[in-house]
Structure 1
Amino acid sequence: MEKVLGVDIGGTKIRMGIIAADGTILHEEQVPTVIPLYPYLEQHVIRMLIKEPEIASIGIGTHGFVDPKEGKIIYAAETLPGWTGTPVKEWLELATGRRVEVENDANAAALAEAKFGAAKGYGRVVVLTLGTGLGGGIIWDGKLLSGGPHGGAAELGHMILHPNGVQCACGRHGCNEMYVSGTALRRRIKEAGLPYSPPELFEKAKTDSAAREVVEGFTADLAVVISSLQAAFDMDIVIIGGGVSEAADLWMDSLQRQLEPVLLNPLQIEVAQFENDAGILGAALLVLEGE
């Protein structure tokens, strides 16, 4: 049975999973993200290969702009200091003797949802991951839309929603992720003078009008983001994942109401099937799909 290693690199933790060809997770573990990142990553990948010598190849999903052909990090924000410019594929293939493929983490999550999860069977899919930032992945006629000359294709979090708005980590103002993400929610709550965490906000919105107003502002902006993406891609379905989606049952009705006047055509919206596992499954698919 073919086995591959899927690695999901985030700003605070790295998840690793040994994955079978049918998507079964045979073993998984998590370690904190440590800087400098590359030698630390190599150390843990080699440890996993010692644990399971039958691993044939390695897929890596990572925060940042990625050149998937070269397997190189084009740009990563200060979330991962020193990661920009790292030739991950080249170095890790030399160190392990295995084939290595590298992709943006949100793109990897989109692959997992399209192959095994909530978007299975659909040809055109947009996945939005609402976590610390806003990640995006696009499946176009069954293929991942990624790469570009600067590794920036499908960076949906960095489309501008509000010109001259809140400054983003990318240096520009008004990006989607400054209004539609976990970080954006915390800022909105603070600006409203409310004492809630994001999960508490959605629960309190049932009875607290000030909390409800914050939620409505968030879902209104998310609706505009989805509407703009529909105008560009006319997708079959939108999958919403990331930490904010864990409370989707409390805000989905508000989003659907906000979508009605702005959508060009009816559109199916679903919550991601894989939460924690999307990253490692998608990373594994980078090498499983190409075998």
Structure 2
Amino acid sequence: MTTNATRAVGVDIGGTGIKGAVVDLETGSLLSDRVKVATPKGAEPADVLAAVHVVLDTLGVTDAAVPLGVAFPAIVKHGRTLSAANVADTWIDFEAEKFFEDGLGRDIHFANDADVAGVAELRYGAARGVSGLTILTTLGTGIGTAMIHEGVLIPNSELGHLQRAGEATDAEVFAAYSAMEREQLDWPEWAARLQWYYSHVEFLFSPDLFIVGGGVSKHADEFLPLLDLKTPIVPAVHRNNAGIIGAAALALASDGSDAVAGVADTLVEATSN
């Protein structure tokens, strides 16, 4: 992968939508319009690959001249997806990175979607320069999390799947933004569920900062002031684009010019072949 690139493509695959854009690696800003297509019903591998082709075709970046990073909503280790919370079970223990590389005819960097959002906020956003432990959460179809301690990313934290005592469903079924939509909750009702979630995570990990990403973060003023926590909690600077920007930032891997390049390098090493 080119390490002195000034731009890269980021593709963020989610449970409901697949988004992509060309990103300026110096500033973290989008150099193109954001392209979004619906995640195919059932989210089987071949259908998701076809949708990624549509995104890249629309962006006009189908060859390997511009580095490509892909974010995916699953545990990613050694290029394999080990979970499938909001996509087809076919992805469990699946050689996803090789599948995308073969299907796209090019090398890629491939990692968990929340982890790359964490990389974006570390390099360009709310986690930049923060000491101690930062926990980023993405509130959407599910709850993704990224844990960053003193600039070091701990991959695949999956704190959205914390179990609730005495309940059959986990945290993300109860408190993700999709729960608000599904159950037609108002902001205070949903904030009460978030209060339980963030209080529980706060007790377990004693973080120094919470960052809230995902599409709903653009409405942060509606629900963050309703939370009562010891830990500061702020919206992600890059909101729902953090996954795109972080995926593109994986092109910094093996470029030792700054600490975030090292984070990207560590993430690639931990999750790729």
Q: Structure 1 length normalisation: TM-score?
A: 0.72
Residue aligning to 1:91: 99
Distance verdict in 2 for CA 1:223–1:32, change over 3 Å: closer
Q: 1 CA distance for matches of 2:60 and 2:222? A: 45
Deviations, residues 6-42 of structure 1 (Å, cap 9, x unaligned): 1100122211112232123222322232343354156
Q: Report if the CA contact (8 A) 2:19-2:55 is conserved.
A: no
Distance verdict in 2 for CA 1:98–1:244, change over 3 Å: same
Distance verdict in 2 for CA 1:230–1:78, change over 3 Å: closer
Determine which of 123, 142, 147 is the counterpart of 1:138. Answer: 147
How far is 1:53 from its partner?
A: 4.7
For structure 1, the 5+ residue unaligned runs are: 147-152, 166-172, 191-196, 203-214, 260-265
Residue aligning to 1:185: 180
Q: How does 1:1-291 map to 2 (within 5 A)?
A: 1-22=5-26, 23-27=28-32, 28-34=34-40, 35=44, 36-41=46-51, 43-44=53-54, 47=57, 51=61, 53=63, 55-67=65-77, 70-77=78-85, 79-80=87-88, 82-94=90-102, 98-123=106-131, 124-146=133-155, 153-161=156-164, 163-165=165-167, 173-186=168-181, 190=183, 197-198=184-185, 201-202=186-187, 215=188, 218-256=190-228, 259=229, 266-291=230-255
Distance verdict in 2 for CA 1:87–1:54, change over 3 Å: closer
Q: CA RMSD in A?
A: 2.8
Distance verdict in 2 for CA 1:19–1:252, change over 3 Å: closer
Q: 2 CA distance for matches of 1:14 and 1:254? A: 31
Distance verdict in 2 for CA 1:276–1:222, change over 3 Å: closer
Q: 1 CA distance for matches of 2:90 and 2:219? A: 34
1:26 aligns to what SS in structure 2?
Answer: coil
Distance verdict in 2 for CA 1:95–1:2, change over 3 Å: farther
How far is 1:221 from its partner?
A: 3.8
How far is 1:78 from its partner?
A: 5.5
Deviations, residues 92-111 of structure 1 (Å, cap 9, x unaligned): 33455643221121222122
Q: 2 CA distance for matches of 1:233 and 1:287? A: 30
The percent identity for this pair of structures is 31
How far is 1:62 from its partner?
A: 1.0
Q: Report if the CA contact (8 A) 1:7-1:60 is conserved.
A: yes
How far is 1:145 from its partner?
A: 1.0
Q: 2 CA distance for matches of 1:60 and 1:54? A: 14
1:276 aligns to what SS in structure 2?
Answer: helix
Q: Report if the CA contact (8 A) 1:181-1:244 is conserved.
A: no
Compare relative contact order (CA 8 Å, sep 6+) and give the higher one, 1 or 2.
Answer: 2
Q: Which has the larger radius of gyration?
A: 1
Q: Report if the CA contact (8 A) 1:128-1:136 is conserved.
A: yes
Which amino acid is 1:102 matched to?
A: F
Deviations, residues 123-163 of structure 1 (Å, cap 9, x unaligned): 421011121222211112212211xxxxxx311111113x2
Q: 2 CA distance for matches of 1:251 and 1:20? A: 31
Q: 1 CA distance for matches of 2:191 and 2:171? A: 12
Distance verdict in 2 for CA 1:143–1:56, change over 3 Å: farther
How far is 1:230 from its partner?
A: 2.9
Q: 2 CA distance for matches of 1:61 and 1:241? A: 15
Deviations, residues 165-188 of structure 1 (Å, cap 9, x unaligned): 2xxxxxxx241113211233245x
Alignment coverage as a number of residue pairs? 244
1:245 aligns to what SS in structure 2?
Answer: helix
